[in-house]
Amino acid sequence: MRRLVVIIGLIGLTLFGAKLSTEPSNHFVVDGILFKDRCALVTINTKLIGTKDDYNKSDEVVFTIYNDGEVIKKAYIFVPVHEAKDINLTILLPKFKDRKFPGIAIECEELGIYIDPFYLKRSEQNCTHYLKEKRAKKELEIICPKLELLGIKCE
């Protein structure tokens, strides 16, 4: 049954010119934060299935971020053809400025997605502090299991 749903989804996306497919049971989740030091982070989480060999047996997907119609960032991801891949993309937008219209636009032509406006959540924290905390937490997640093997507990 699951294969049938994926095939029907792929056929539907092919009819509309899309090259990639999101996994049928997954959601396409976008989040964003604008920090007080004018830095912004946009995160995109989903699961994709590669359907077209764009480069080296991988399907290329491009996420484009706009601010008032101007491209401010592009992120490229390669998904192996005929395989599902979890996408956890974080896009850093340094020196971000709210311009004439609030919010940003996010486009993924391959998926037929265009979100405009997308409003960023505001944070009173600095971007550099947030990124350092996130990196430190990730390092602890990697190191702690190794330390516990030596009898050292992480807290």
Where does the chain hold its CATH 2.60.40 domain(s)? Answer: 2-124
Cis peptide bond prior to 80, omega within 30° of 0: no
| pLDDT for res 155 | 63
Q: What's the token pair of residue 110? A: 């391959």
| pLDDT for res 26 | 53
**Where are the strands (E) in the chain, listed by range?**
21-22, 29-34, 40-49, 58-67, 70-80, 84-93, 104-108, 113-118, 121-122
Pseudo-torsion of CA 16, 1, 25, 54, nearest 10°?
Answer: -40
Q: What's the token pair of residue 99? A: 């311009």
CATH code of domain 2-124: 2.60.40
Q: Which tens digits make up the pLDDT trace of 42-61?
A: 988 888 888 887 888 888 89
| Rg from Cα positions in the chain | 19
* Intervals of the chain under pLDDT 50: 1-20, 22-23, 25
